[in-house]
A and B are shown apart, each in its own frame.
Chain A
Amino acid sequence: MPLRSTHWMAVTLALALLATACGAPDASDSTQLRGSVVVSGSSTVEPISVAVTEKFDAGAGHQVSLAVDGPGTGDGFELFCGGQVAINDASSKIKPEQIAACEENGVELIELWIGNDGLTLLTSESNDHISCLTLADVYVLIGPESQGVDNWSDAQDLAVELGSDTTFPDAPLAVTGPGEESGTFVSFVELVIEDFNEDRDVDATTRPDYQSSADDNVIIQGVQGSDTSLGWVGFAFARGAEGVKILEVDGGDGCVRPTDETVADRSYPISRPLYIYVNAAMADENPALDAYVDLYLDDTGISSVREVGYVPLADEDLAATRSRWHERIVGPA
């Protein structure tokens, strides 16, 4: 009785120890590409990298171990600058302190612009009052000075002061958006709030009192939840969402609706570039990584940007990215 149970426990233990102690090398053709490529970073860019990786993996005849993850741009840079991952996906440009962290560890990076994402402002589809907002409107409704504003009309005075001529309805305002840890939050602050906050002498952040979620579906539910709601998500998520109304944005040259074209040519004011950052030293040493990025940027790979719902680069921008990679131009652009 217990003898038998000790028996199989011992066998399992031995198996586990064996497994940890020795990694048996797999016998295969030595001309095959081998090694590993690990991609981390932005959960926004993750779907693109996953799609590219699938294409790379589908190409037979290699022994490369591939892994893609999406803990967030910031977490990804921590791993990337620590030399733990070869590629970091980023939904916002690398920050000075992240560059410093990379330099401290002697990690040189190649910045590759691979596509665009727009931020989309949303309200409930039953909101007849508003169809276009200026950047100033967005600032007075979601920026740090809007703390405590729970009715659109409460923000009217400040909007007029900032030069907006939008008339806000006398209706409750419920704001939903991504949380601070999200790249979409960071982009929102950079694309909207930072146009105003220094002149207004306030911090570059949003109002603290809004409904936040890391899950875009939850944000969309929040926007559906009240007739005169306001929220923001990435362009890719908004396109498939039902029960919400996409707002036009006026960046000074009239109202622009977020579409593939207006995001690609950046005429839609709140759009952002998407990057991958490649560890330059690893790219030189690791032929698998070299081949992987080659595929990422060629026509097969880069078409993934559109396939997963983002906006492809204009032709000349793509050409610039490819030459940055082929000439191994180190450092942020």
Chain B
Amino acid sequence: MTLLTTPKDIAETAARDAVERQLTSGKADTAGFAFRLLLLLALAMSVVVLGVLVVDVTTNSWGVVTNRGWDFVTSKLASQPGQAGVVQGLVGTFWIGAFVIAIAFPMGVAAAIYLEEYAQRGRFTNLIDLSIRNLAGVPSVVYGILGLTIFVKLLQPLTGPDANGRTLVSAGLTLAILVLPIVIITSTEALRAVPSGLREAGFGVGATRWEVVRHHVLPYAAPGILTGTILALARALGEAAPLILVGATTGYLSRGDDFLDLTALRERFAAMPTLIANWASQPGAEWESNTSAAILVLLVVVLLANTAAILLRNRFESKRR
């Protein structure tokens, strides 16, 4: 469908409206028209907000993009705005995403499958359902406190004793837990949307519950589950508040610029959202354009992650047919 209206579209719409008018015996459908206008307005507002954000960020960061280009992406944190770059933030955000994918997704989807396919519906499962929905609405800073208490302090020997637990492992686990309820809820909804006839047909030909879930329910629900996980991943990549509590470094960091250095997971780290928040409070126009450029980088990262997930979803969708 296209947003642009061509003369042909107008002619078609007019013809359709004429038929509609005849069918509704000449009544003018003002309410319907107003509703359609309202919907269009809502869409336009969202698009305008997004457009303004992208244009604003791009124009503000243009100096950095043209003068520094790739250098900005590969440079480390620094005191001089002309030398500061985002590589450590990118590494941190990359690994946080990896933790979310590796922990929150399988765990969340598994929990949802159990709740929908295996558990007996009853007062207890309803209570669990309600709790999960509530957890999804808890402010992210509360998860930050949780992460600080459990991963940074309690589990410090595991998460990184040399860095007092203020490590990528702690941050990744905290954000994985933060998005877990979202993954469970969206996966549950996707499983609920699977027609019950599909399951019954499976059972009817003698399939076990495992076979039904594995071969029929999951493939059917996969696109819906992936849509939920896209939202969850994007949320995790953009969260700053929990990372501030877990202790993301914003001033200077000597290491943390190597994507594949696994020892760095248990060391101090930086992340894009906290880096952006910190740069935004620095004085001077140069830091301002650095901030915009960092936002642009984060937007691109989120866009790439979403694109990958959408491609994956489309593959599942085409398989379903």
What residues make up the interface of A, taking CB atoms closer than 8 Å to B? Answer: 1-2, 5, 9, 12-13, 15-16, 18-20, 23-24, 26, 36, 38-39, 46-47, 49-51, 53-54, 57, 64-70, 79, 84, 214-217, 237, 240, 308
B254 touches A57 (CB 8 A): yes
Cα of A172 to Cα of B34 in the assembled complex, Å: 48
Q: Are A70 and B250 closer than 8 Å at their CB atoms?
A: yes
Is there an interface contact between A69 and B79, defined as CB atoms closer than 8 Å?
Answer: no
CB–CB B250/A69 < 8 A: yes
Return the contact of A66 from the options B78, B106, B253 (Cβ within 8 A).
B253
| Nearest CB of B to A176, in Å | 15
Residues in B76-122 with C-beta less than 8 Å from chain A = 77-79, 98-99, 101-103, 105-106
Q: A24 contacts which chain B residues (CB < 8 A)?
A: 262-263
- Does B252 count as interface, using CB distance less than 8 angstroms? yes
Known: A16-B103, A70-B250, A240-B283. A65 touches B267 (CB 8 A): yes
| A1-B319, A2-B218, A57-B254 known; A240 vs B284 contact (CB < 8 Å) | yes
Residues of A within 8 A of B283 (CB): 216-217, 237, 240
- Chain B 251-279, CB-CB to A under 8 Å as 1, else 0, gives 11111000000110111100000000000
Max chain A Cβ within 10 angstroms of own Cβ: one of B162, B163, B252:
B252
Q: B268 contacts A12, CB within 8 Å? A: no
B312 nearest in chain A by CB position: A5
Q: How many angstroms from the CA of A47 to the CA of B283 in the assembled complex? A: 12
Interface of A is mostly: helix
| Interface range on chain B (Cβ under 8 Å from partner) | 35 or more
B98: chain A residues at CB < 8 Å are: 12, 15-16
Q: Collect the chain B residues with CB atoms within 8 Å of residue A12's CB.
A: 98, 101-102
Are the CB atoms of A2 and B79 closer together than 8 Å?
no
Complex CA gap A20/B95 in Å reads: 12
CB of B254 within 8 A of CB of A67, answer yes
**Chain B positions within 8 Å of A50 at CB level:** 77-79, 251-252
Top 9 A-B residue pairs of the complex, sorted by shortest distance between their CB atoms: A68-B251, A19-B262, A68-B252, A66-B254, A12-B102, A50-B79, A67-B268, A13-B102, A50-B252
Pick from A13, A19, A49: contact of B251, CB below 8 A: A49
Contacts of A53 in B (CB 8 A): 252, 254
Query: Is B187 interfacial (CB 8 A cutoff)?
Result: no
Q: Which of B102, B218, B219 contacts A9 (CB 8 A)?
A: B102
Q: How many angstroms between the C-alpha atoms of A308 and B283 in the bound complex?
A: 12
Q: Which of A20, A46, A49 contacts B158 (CB 8 A)?
A: A20
Quick one: closest B residue to A26, CB to CB? B263
Q: Which chain B residue lies CB-closest to A216?
A: B283
B316 on the interface (CB 8 Å rule)? yes
Chain A residues near B247 (CB-CB < 8 A): 69
Q: Which residues of the other chain, A, contact B219 by a CB distance below 8 angstroms?
A: 1-2
Shortest CB–CB separation between residue A278 and chain B, in angstroms? 17
A2: chain B residues at CB < 8 Å are 214, 218-219, 222
B106 touches A65 (CB 8 A): no
Contact between B103 and A68 (Cβ–Cβ < 8 Å)?
no
Q: In the assembly, what is the distance between CA of A12 and CA of B296, in Å? A: 27
Structural contact, B265 and A84, CB atoms closer than 8 A: no
Asked whether, in the complex, the Cβ of A69 is within 8 Å of the Cβ of B316, the reply is no
Residue from the set B105, B247, B283 with the largest chain A CB neighbour count within 10 Å: B283
Chain B neighbourhood of A308, CB < 8 A: 79
- Does B169 touch A at the CB level, under 8 Å? yes
Across the interface, do B266 and A20 meet the contact criterion of CB distance under 8 Å?
yes
Q: How far is the CB of B274 from chain A (nearest CB, A)?
A: 10
CA distance A2 to B316 in the complex (A): 9
